[in-house]
Structure 1
Amino acid sequence: MNIQKATFANGCFWCTEAIFQILKGVKSVTSGYTGGQTSNPTYMEICNGDTGHAEAIEIEYDADEITYNELLLAFFKSHNPTTLNRQGNDVGTQYRSAIFYHNAEQRQQAKDMIIKLTNEHVFDKPIVTQVVSADVFYKAEDYHQNYYNDNNLKPYCMVVIQPKLNKFIKEFVEKIKPELL
């Protein structure tokens, strides 16, 4: 296996965790916080918007099964990268769109993907996604991990996450783990 790491912030980590968990080649997804100045932040501190951190996911994936570019495409297709510090009803810098690259190759691929999507007019507005170097990633509290799978009958999961997941599966069906179809 060729295990690599990717780190993305694209809104509520409950939603993004659920999406990336179903992709072939993704071995683990951890919800957490990164990109800010507060050490060992808590969810309550993140919600106040004072830490500078974003809700993010850290992915371990097998690069022989799924490429970083495929993960980038899933990232861009699973949220609105044109809204600054906002995803749906979630507002604040903690919900910003950001790619936290782990090496120069990831940085270049992220920048190239933004140029490609811009040139193809995939979005009606300019992409505001930050492309920044990965820093310390703080794992979120245990109750945030595997949230959708453990709480899929809760109203938020049924009303917000499930429709996003259904839409994503239709668009990426060939990349979904077969046991989940």
Structure 2
Amino acid sequence: MSYLRSLPAETTLLQVFRAYPGPAKHLLAFHEELLRGESPFTPGEREMIAAYVSGVNACDYCHGIHTVTAEAFGVPEGVLAAAVADLASAPVEEKLKPVLAYVGKLTRTPSRMTEADAEAVFAAGWDERALHDAVLVCALFNFMNRMVEGIGIEADAAYAVESGERLKEGGYAGLAGLLTDA
């Protein structure tokens, strides 16, 4: 239930963005660059990182939407739920496990990050750009999770599917285009 009294109780993030388009347009441009721009990670892998961080934070809204988006990009169904439950035994590609372990630790205990954590990502075959991008996706979704939870935004599974498919098809630039739609 939204804590913003000027918006309906069942407010979605898009409705919040429409109510506050100034910050939203910049935030969505950053999402587009980070999640759809050039990167060592595919869009599906970046959506997987976003969904994983959101799952670690128990942000059902973001976890649900970005799980659907990751799956739309080819991440097998159920992988993200398994990863959040137990990354070590989850059917995640071995090359991605150290990345998810890194962003999981960064989410849970940011002050405890070490060079060894980064070395595990590098040892899996990722470069500095990949580590940089993973950290930025992690940071962005820790921000988004706190925004969603702080405003009191919730959605059901049907909305997660609708929103995830919209993100797969139009990206975040497409979402920004909806800011002025009634």
TM-score between the two structures when normalised by the length of structure 1? 0.28
The structure showing larger relative contact order (alpha-carbon pairs under 8 Å, at least 6 residues apart) is 2
Structure with the largest fraction of helix: 2
